[in-house]
């Protein structure tokens, strides 16, 4: 049984993590910490892996506290920068055998879609990205869609493909935002959560890769995958991105 403690256990994502760990046959829920709780509650006796789903302003300190206590961490909080990564690496260097895993996206379907887009893009004349989200989202296009556009553009460059064919004259507003040469469209629709569609086309054929995240629960298979991988003890140091634990 992997003993898991959850930091930010009373937030919306934290509660979802608590439920997922509780339901996993190979895991045991240990400590549930909130902002007011001391990290002294967490130690290597009661915790194999800590999971941090808090807020950008505190996550770095949480991770540093846990690393110093010799606890490996799985982090779903956003707001990470190269400077912050560097601080984590320094702390890890002083605590060999401890690992920190940070992922910008825990949805396995989204991570696979991005990867597949990169593999496939070199074989198609055309490529576009449509992302679809709930209408309360403030940024557009989504960070995931921007990442996928770069993934596609990189693959096309490597394969020596030129720019995508586009005979449009005028009316470019409807053609989306051009990210690294790839047209990206953002749909905002009540009822949706977070979705991405990659469209690849050749004469007579189309390949479509679509990732749907219907709710917060969509991140749990990825979170559990990360916990299980970190719990093997085989991964120390700083690891970024769920693709590290996917056999691609």
Give dist(CA 27, CA 164) in Å, integer.
Answer: 48
Give dist(CA 21, CA 150) in Å, integer.
Answer: 34
Return the structure tokens found at 219.
């991140």
Q: How many residues bind its own copies (CB under 8 A)?
A: 80
The residue from 102, 141, 152, 227 that contacts its own copies (CB under 8 A) is 141
Q: Which is nearer to its own copies, 58 or 178 (CB)?
A: 178
The residue from 78, 95, 126, 236 that contacts its own copies (CB under 8 A) is 126
Closest C-alpha among 127, 132, 137 to residue 185? 132
Task: For residue 85, say whether it is annotated as part of any ligand binding site.
Answer: no
3-state secondary structure at position 74: strand
Largest CA distance in the chain: 66
Active site residue 137: yes
Which segments within the chain are labelled E, that is strand? 2-7, 27-33, 49-52, 72-75, 99-102, 126-133, 177-179, 182-188, 194-202, 205-213, 237-240
Task: For residue 78, say whether it is annotated as part of any ligand binding site.
Answer: yes
In the region spanning residues 220 to 239, those forming contacts with its own copies, defined by CB under 8 A, are 220-221, 225
User: Which residues, in sequence order, are CB contacts of 196 under 8 Å at separation 6+?
Assistant: 110, 113, 129, 130, 131, 132, 142, 144, 145, 148, 210, 211
| Catalytic-labelled residue, pool 133, 147, 183, 195 | 133
Smallest distance from the beta carbon of 37 to its own copies, in angstroms? 28
Which string of x and - marks every residue 49-88 that binds its own copies (by CB under 8 A)?
Answer: ----------------------------------------
Q: Is the Cα dihedral 192, 198, 201, 204 positive or negative? A: negative
The residue range among 4-12, 29-37, 75-83, 210-218 that interacts with its own copies, by the rule CB under 8 A, is 210-218
In the region spanning residues 149 to 208, those forming contacts with its own copies, defined by CB under 8 A, are 164-178, 183-193, 199-208
19 by Cβ neighbours in 10 Å (0-12 / 13-18 / 19+) ranks as middle
Q: Is the distance from CB of 157 to CB of 195 less than 8 angstroms?
A: no
In the region spanning residues 82 to 101, those forming contacts with its own copies, defined by CB under 8 A, are none
Task: For residue 148, say whether it is annotated as part of any ligand binding site.
Answer: no
Smallest distance from the beta carbon of 56 to its own copies, in angstroms? 18
Q: Is the distance from CB of 124 to CB of 116 less than 8 angstroms?
A: no
Active site residue 133: yes
Q: Which is nearer to its own copies, 4 or 110 (CB)?
A: 110
217 binds its own copies (CB under 8 A): yes
Smallest distance from the beta carbon of 17 to its own copies, in angstroms? 13
Please identify which residue in the block is written with the tokens 């769920």: 242
Task: For residue 12, say whether it is annotated as part of any ligand binding site.
Answer: yes
Q: Which is nearer to its own copies, 83 or 173 (CB)?
A: 173
Residues contributing to the annotated binding site for (S)-2,3,4,5-tetrahydrodipicolinate:
134, 143-144
Catalytic sites, residue numbers: 133, 137
């Amino acid at each position: 049984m992997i003993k898991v403690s959850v930091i930010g256990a009373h937030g919306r994502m934290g509660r979802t993590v608590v439920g997922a760990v509780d339901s996993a046959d190979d895991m045991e829920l240990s400590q549930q910490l909130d902002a007011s709780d001391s990290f002294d509650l967490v130690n290597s006796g009661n915790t194999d892996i800590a999971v941090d789903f808090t807020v950008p302003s505190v996550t770095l300190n949480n991770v540093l506290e846990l690393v110093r206590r010799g606890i490996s961490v799985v982090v779903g909080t956003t707001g990470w920068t190269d400077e912050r990564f560097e601080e984590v690496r320094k702390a890890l260097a002083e605590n060999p055998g401890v690992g920190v895993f940070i992922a910008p996206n825990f949805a396995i379907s989204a991570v696979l879609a991005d990867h597949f887009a990169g593999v496939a893009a070199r074989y198609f004349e055309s490529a576009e990205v449509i992302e679809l989200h709930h209408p309360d989202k403030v940024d557009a296009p989504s960070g995931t869609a921007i990442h996928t556009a770069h993934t596609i553009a990189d693959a096309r460059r490597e394969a020596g493909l030129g720019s995508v064919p586009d005979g449009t004259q005028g009316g470019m507003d409807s053609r989306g935002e051009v990210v690294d040469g790839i047209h990206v469209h953002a749909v905002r629709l009540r009822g949706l959560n977070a979705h991405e569609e990659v469209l690849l086309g050749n004469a007579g054929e189309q390949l479509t890769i679509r990732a749907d995240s219907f709710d917060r629960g969509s991140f749990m298979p990825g979170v559990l995958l990360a916990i299980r991988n970190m719990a093997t003890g085989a991964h120390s140091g700083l690891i970024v991105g769920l693709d590290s634990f996917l056999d691609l």
